[in-house]
Structure 1
Amino acid sequence: MHTRAFRDKRGRGLRGPLLPEGVPRRRTRAQAFDRAVLEAYAPIYHMFPEQLAALDIAVDTVPRMRLRADMTVLPDEIFADGPVPLGRIIPAGIDRHNRPTRARLVVFRMPVEERAANSAQRAELLHVVMTSLVATHLNLDPRDIDPDFQW
């Protein structure tokens, strides 16, 4: 017996995936965001390769920080749009198993995505977030990294 793969009762609609696996256009939104983060970070890394060699880059979906509601000024290691963190520097330290950890730059995907209407705005916002966080990590002014920096 032959089975037909129909989407609706009239036999119309997609009968399989629109794009095959492995095609660049088939990236998920999270994968596309990860790629955009790396593209925003690459020019900054090439300016300071020795200083940033020990810095890890990470993407988290949402901020997982305990911030008090009465906080009007956030610490320097947190880059935020008002009360909403967009990125954070986690300094090097010791984990719970007494192993050393590397410093980590974390970008929060959902807050950044909510503030960008398209990929060009997302790239611009990621550039601002990365520039600010790397400047904080290196103890520089953001205009030392990008002379046109404005926030």
Structure 2
Amino acid sequence: MSTPPRRRTRSRRDRHGRGLRGRLVPVHVPLSRSRAEQFDDLVLDAVEDLERRWERELAGVEFAVEDVPWVEHTDQDEAELDSDVLDDAGVPLARLVPARREQGQEVPPRIIVYRRPLELRAHDREDLADLVRDVVVDQVATLLGRDPEEIDPTG
């Protein structure tokens, strides 16, 4: 007579027995979003607010987020920053890539915001939101050839 196979109970730990199996927080909870996703949301909030006021001028502008900037170094190992880079003490925070023609096609202007340098300068989430907004406003002002106070009078 054979005994029925034992049912395996579901483990509450990972396969190495060190921690919980699965996510700690449900997906619909804000805590479950990564820092990069939260940063993307801050940039989107700033851009959406500006697009409401400057819809026609910003119609073709692309906005992007990168973790860290790509910086060319010279022989003396000093970073060379282009004039289209918004920087703080030599560390790029954002870059404005103007519209250009590539392979016979028009490439729209692009504003790139660098996540890690901004996160390192912020004390908390509210400070980061303000910093992101200031950087986006600065880059939009440069793109449109206007004063930042004209782009965002509330800032």
- The two structures have a TM-score, normalised by structure 1, of 0.82
Q: Separation in 2 of the partners of 1:51 and 1:86?
A: 23
Q: Separation in 1 of the partners of 2:18 and 2:66?
A: 39
- Following superposition, the deviation at residue 134 of structure 1 comes to 0.4
Given candidates 92, 101, 106, the residue that maps to 1:94 is: 101
* SS at structure 2 position matched to 1:39: helix
Give the number of aligned pairs. Answer: 144
RMSD (CA atoms): 2.5
Partner of 1:58: 64
How much identity, in percent, do the aligned residues show? 38
Q: Separation in 2 of the partners of 1:18 and 1:26?
A: 8
The aligned amino acid for 2:97 is I
Confirm or deny that 1:104 pairs with 2:79: no
- Following superposition, the deviation at residue 99 of structure 1 comes to 2.5
* SS at structure 2 position matched to 1:85: strand
- Kept in 1, the 8 Å contact 2:72–2:79? The answer is no
Confirm or deny that 1:130 pairs with 2:136: yes
Q: Separation in 1 of the partners of 2:61 and 2:107?
A: 10
- Kept in 1, the 8 Å contact 2:79–2:90? The answer is no
- Kept in 2, the 8 Å contact 1:6–1:12? The answer is no
Structure 1, unaligned stretches of length 5 or more? none
Structure 2, unaligned stretches of length 5 or more? 1-5
Partner of 1:41: 47
Larger Rg: 2
Q: Separation in 2 of the partners of 1:70 and 1:119?
A: 29
Q: Separation in 2 of the partners of 1:3 and 1:53?
A: 56
Q: Identify if the C-alpha distance between structure 1 residues 23 and 148 changes in structure 2 by more than 3 Å, giving closer, same or farther.
A: closer
- The two structures have a TM-score, normalised by structure 2, of 0.80
Q: Separation in 2 of the partners of 1:103 and 1:84?
A: 22
- Following superposition, the deviation at residue 42 of structure 1 comes to 1.9
The aligned amino acid for 1:93 is R
* SS at structure 2 position matched to 1:63: coil
* SS at structure 2 position matched to 1:36: helix
- Following superposition, the deviation at residue 28 of structure 1 comes to 1.4
- Following superposition, the deviation at residue 16 of structure 1 comes to 2.9
Deviation track 1:123-151 (CA, whole Å, cap 9, x = no partner) reads 010111011100000000112123465xx
Partner of 2:87: 80
Deviation track 1:87-125 (CA, whole Å, cap 9, x = no partner) reads 111011123x43221100100011111111211010010
- Following superposition, the deviation at residue 6 of structure 1 comes to 4.3
Deviation track 1:18-41 (CA, whole Å, cap 9, x = no partner) reads 223454432111111101101122
* SS at structure 1 position matched to 2:71: coil
